Amino acid sequence: MKLKLILIAGFLIITYAAQGTTLNLVSDTLSTSEPGFAANHTIKFTTITAIPVSGTIVITPQSGNFNIPSGLDFTEVDLLINNSQKTLAASAGSGSSSAIGISVVSGTSGSLTITLNDSDAISGGSSIIMRIGTNAEFGTTGDKQITNPTSTGSYRIQIITKNSSNLTLDEDGAMAAIVASVDVSASKVAPTPSSAPAPAPAPAPSGGGGGGEGQAVPTPQPAPVVSRRVGNLNLDGRVDFIDFSILLFNWGIPKNLAADLNKDGKVDLIDFSIMLYWWTG
Amino acid sequence: MNNIKIQFLIIFSFTAFGLNSVQAAELYIQLPSQPTYKNDVFSAEIQIKNSNEAINAVQADLNFPADLLEVVLIDKVGSILNLWPKEPSFFNDLGVISLSGGLPDPGFQGQNGLIAKIYFKAKNIGEAVLKFLPDSKALLNDGFGNRAALSSGTFVLQITSAPAGIKPKIFTLPKDIVPPDAFSPIISQTPLAFDGKYFVSFLTEDRESGLARYESREIADGKAGNWKVVVSPYVLENQKGDILVQIKAIDRAGNETIGEATVIIKPPYEFYLIIFMAIAALLFIIYRLLINFNKLWKN
């Protein structure tokens, strides 16, 4: 019995040590909280332990919930270390100030791995900001976004820093609140019956907290300013031919649940009718 | 070249729409290969050709000389597109035709896709130049609505005088005894559209002469309304009761197919609550009156 307890205690200590310390001031702000919508992520944290050269930062949205689209790559990522914009590439470069590598595993069990080059480390206490999605505007502007979970709830975005031997240095997570918004715009322009209910601003989902306990608590953030009409699938403020194309792409069982306008699990003639109601052209 | 013979030329002076590349799909007008004489009615097929990438939406706006040509009819029979956010339209005064439609995933990819067939009447003798307007576009079936690389040309048709004894070609409907395809209208309600009212959506096809129109009538609680010309979607006139909606699809030859849907719309809970409270209030007033009357009687 004693031996068993010692073994269990020993295992727990090893596990704790392997997890390393927690990161500081972890947060992830999403551009939209709507279930099934594609969203930009702005992830912020402060390192505790220095990340040595060739070390990595691994961002893992909660498996089975977020969907990283195929083709999302380093062009969809901006990385700022202590407010200094870094050059990114598909793989890490060699030499001082060379590119930092971004590798992506797409899908619902996907992840993003940032690999430092072989010359520049990140010191402890550094402020890290990552923008993932179309908000990555440094160099090539991103054109793909991570899709939110399809159900409302709180979801974890795990952040782990590792050394070049893949041993964990720091670890923490941000919680992203996925909230079904009711923000249909009242600014209907089509000459059809009167407008829909006034919008309730969608809360900006955010993860925050971090700190000693490693418990990330959602932190309220200002609502994103997004002009939305039902059927405005590309969030450009209009319901037009592009949204029509996106709807058609998702016809039947939707690949992007945002296209399922009435949330009945399929994209069909009813969704097309709803889109026509909101059509701005 | 004889002046009563048609000169049929297609000039491939390509114009780029959106992205341009060597493998760009092409918006094309297939003009008649036979001579066209003044007062003839002829068809021109609007096509998308050599689409190497899957597309799911096409907007084809084209310009024609209003002094030489007049649109008689736009025919969607055989089109690769089956959903039209806006019905095809034309403006004979301005010489403009607008076609905007799409098709669901997986879209269209291929050598030759018919968008629509335009029936023109050749009003005058001359060189009719038809060209696509810069707004024309095809969107990829990629989930983002990105533009497909697209090119187009200018298409020229010579209209000449008819030789003696030749009568003008007239538009004749194809022989059609087949009614439009069977279909089922769908009645829906959502807070997202139509102010939360019940609406009906419908869609069918006619593969011979083409659909002319839809008509609808509602039979609410056994009372039949009149047939009215409608387009999909439309809000039900009756928003309560036991409603049968009949949608009649009528093709150009007059063949009909009727699709039906039913819905029972009950008044909301609040309605019953108000009725209950009104009855309760009435009973209370009657009770008070009876008490007062009883007192008066005793006095």
pLDDT digits (tens, 9 = 90+) for B145-199: 999 999 998 999 999 999 999 999 988 878 899 999 999 999 999 988 999 999 9
- Answer for the pair B38, B166: CB distance below 8 angstroms, yes or no: no
> Among partner residues B104, B139, B143, which is closest to A256 by beta-carbon distance?
B143
- Answer for the pair B39, B68: CB distance below 8 angstroms, yes or no: no
Would you call A273 and B103 a contact, using CB atoms and an 8 Å cutoff?
A: no
Residue B119, pLDDT > 70, answer: yes
For chain A, the average pLDDT equals: 75
Q: Please report, as a single letter, which amino acid is at residue A58.
A: V
Residue A32 has a CB neighbour count (10 Å cut-off) of 24
Share of chain A above pLDDT 70, in %: 72
Task: Read off the pLDDT band of A139 (50, 70, 90).
Answer: confident
Residue A253, pLDDT > 90, answer: yes
Would you call B193 and A251 a contact, using CB atoms and an 8 Å cutoff?
A: no
B128: closest CA of chain A, how far (Å):
30
Would you call B201 and A245 a contact, using CB atoms and an 8 Å cutoff?
A: no
Residue A97, pLDDT > 50, answer: yes
- The segment with the largest mean pLDDT, out of A7-11, A48-52, A232-236, A242-246, is A242-246
Look-up of token digits 């093709």? B251
What ipTM did this prediction achieve?
0.78
Residue A228 is predicted with a pLDDT of 52
Residue B128, pLDDT > 90, answer: yes
Q: Please report, as a single letter, which amino acid is at residue B110.
A: G
Mean pLDDT of B206-217: 94
- CA B48 from chain centre, in angstroms, equals 19
Residue A9 is predicted with a pLDDT of 41
For chain B, the average pLDDT equals: 89
Tokens of B74: 């736009």
CA B130-B134-B138 angle, 5° bins: 100
Mean pLDDT of B287-297: 86
Share of chain A above pLDDT 90, in %: 30
Residue B59 in contact with partner chain A when CB distance is under 8 A = yes
Measured CA to CA, the distance from residue B244 to residue B258 in angstroms comes to 12
Mean pLDDT of A261-274: 93
Measured CA to CA, the distance from residue A161 to residue A56 in angstroms comes to 6
> How does pLDDT run across A149-177, given as a tens digit for each residue?
877 666 788 888 999 988 888 877 777 77
How many Cα atoms are found within 13 Å in the side-chain-facing hemisphere of B77? 18
Would you call B105 and A252 a contact, using CB atoms and an 8 Å cutoff?
A: yes
> Among partner residues B107, B142, B188, which is closest to A270 by beta-carbon distance?
B188
**What Å distances lie between residue A120 and A80, A93, A100, A197, A219, CA to CA?**
14, 10, 9, 54, 32
- Answer for the pair A273, B130: CB distance below 8 angstroms, yes or no: no
Task: Read off the pLDDT band of A27 (50, 70, 90).
Answer: confident
Q: Which of B60, B66, B53 is nearest to B134 (CA)?
A: B60
> Among partner residues B56, B85, B194, which is closest to A193 by beta-carbon distance?
B194
Task: Read off the pLDDT band of B219 (50, 70, 90).
Answer: very high
Residue A85 is predicted with a pLDDT of 86
Residue A136, pLDDT > 50, answer: yes
Q: Please report, as a single letter, which amino acid is at residue B6.
A: I
Helical spans, DSSP H, in chain B: 269-298
Residue B140 in contact with partner chain A when CB distance is under 8 A = yes
Measured CA to CA, the distance from residue A205 to residue B161 in angstroms comes to 71
Residue A204, pLDDT > 80, answer: no
Instruction: Report yes or no on whether pTM surpasses 0.95.
Output: no
Measured CA to CA, the distance from residue B266 to residue B245 in angstroms comes to 16
Look-up of token digits 């309560």? B240
Cβ-Cβ contacts under 8 Å for B247 (sequence gap 6 or more): B183, B185, B200, B202, B214, B215, B216, B230, B258, B259, B260, B261
- The segment with the largest mean pLDDT, out of A137-146, A188-197, B201-210, is B201-210
Measured CA to CA, the distance from residue B19 to residue B17 in angstroms comes to 6
Classify strands B41-63 and B137-140 as parallel, antiparallel or unpaired. Answer: antiparallel
How many Cα atoms are found within 13 Å in the side-chain-facing hemisphere of A138? 16
Residue A215, pLDDT > 60, answer: no
Task: Read off the pLDDT band of A35 (50, 70, 90).
Answer: confident
Residue A146, pLDDT > 50, answer: yes
> How does pLDDT run across B16-51, given as a tens digit for each residue?
555 444 468 999 999 999 999 999 999 999 999 988
> Where is B73: in which H helix or E strand?
strand B69-75
Looking at the DSSP bridge assignments, the partners of residue A252 are A267
Residue A264 has a CB neighbour count (10 Å cut-off) of 12
Residue B16 is predicted with a pLDDT of 53
Looking at the DSSP bridge assignments, the partners of residue A168 are A162
Looking at the DSSP bridge assignments, the partners of residue A195 are none
Q: Please report, as a single letter, which amino acid is at residue B167.
A: K
Residue B17 is predicted with a pLDDT of 56
Q: Which residue of A has its CA nearest to B106?
A: A249
Tokens of A271: 């969704």
> Where is A273: in which H helix or E strand?
helix A269-278
